[in-house]
Amino acid sequence: MSTLTIPPVIPTAREDAMNLHKAFKESWDIKKRLHVGLGCDSGTIINILAHRDSQQVELITQEYDNKYSDVLRKRLSSELHGDFKRAVCLWVREPPARDANVLKRALRATVTDFKAATDVICSRTPAQLRQLKQVYLINCGARLEHDIESATYGDHKKLLLGYVNTTRYEGPEIDKFLVEDDAKAINKGRDNSFFIRIFTERSKAHMSALISTYKSMFGKPLEHAIKKETSGNLMYGLLTILRFVENPAMHFAKLLRKAMKGFGTDDSTLIWIIVTRAEVDMRYIKAAYINKYGKTLNEAVHSETSGYYRTFLLALLGPNC
């Protein structure tokens, strides 16, 4: 469930666009006839954008672009700075474009962010991945598979390519005999190609049944078998798929905790999870976080961030509960 706090009565998209334009304080370079930014009213930007859902933000963006012959996303990028800019500019994209942007940054970085790429890809449904691939091609100028091929290697590459390209059944029905066969085969010990095939071809319902069946048959979690038989980025990918099937809210709660634990904050992870999950299941993630760590996610974010960046993230997270 979403944690967005949207006013019961909101202005029209045109009114929001006009108020955003007013928030951009400006002057003009007379000689060059160009806009010169003098800072902006960040509070107004947060009050509008952080309290509108993705469809409303898209309408505001269209109104702004048409009315002012400007691109709202580019204007925000020029006016804002640092992590606050990154969070807002990611938020004003449509949901599939948010994922595409995160993946582009992860796969095309000087040093590939294998975990970020894995976390995004392996926590999306087949339908979401089909849409993501279309948007990635349009927005990033290359096929997602091409960038995965270029940035990753070995069995981890095979897992990611298999996961984005395999059409998995999305219904609730399962073949209990196939589930038992998979559990027995895993327990005997198999090579990496077997794990890749199972984890990329089986449905979410099948994997959920496999988790419980494996434990009932052999008295230990399926996670133990993965850790025993695999390693490195492949192991991370398999565990990500498993944990997302088992308890997606807890999976993201743990990622957020890790991003804020220790010296320094992993703001990239903090931003993409809060921005991409705020409209999906953030309420469940918050509940999982407080149950696991004894403090609210809002309190953790408040202590690890500052300024308008903190204000924006907390607005997306909703009330402190």
| One-letter-per-residue 3-state SS of 154-196 | HHHHHHHHHHHHCCCCCCCCCCHHHHHHHHHHHHHCCCHHHHH
Q: Given this model, what pLDDT does residue 189 score?
A: 78
Tokens linked to 62? 């269209």
> What stretches in the chain show pLDDT beneath 50?
27-33, 36-37
Token readout for 314 is 């907390």
Residue 30 confidence (pLDDT): 38
Contact 197, 237 (CB under 8 A): no
The 3-state DSSP composition of the chain as helix, strand, coil percent (nearest 5) reads 70, 5, 25
Cβ atoms of residues 116 and 77 within 8 Å:
no
Q: What is the pLDDT of residue 140?
A: 97
In this predicted structure, what is the pLDDT of residue 38? Answer: 53
What is the pLDDT, as a whole number, of residue 262?
81
Could you tell me which of 53, 82, 49 has the C-alpha nearest to residue 64? 49
The residue among 127, 4, 99, 130 whose CA lies nearest residue 55 is 4
pLDDT for 40 equals: 86
Closest CA to 88 of 57, 67, 59, 109: 57
Q: With contact defined as beta carbons under 8 Å apart, do 163 and 197 qualify?
A: no
The pLDDT value given to residue 26: 58
Beta-carbon contacts of 321 under 8 Å, excluding residues fewer than 6 positions away, are 286, 296, 298
DSSP assigned state of 277: H
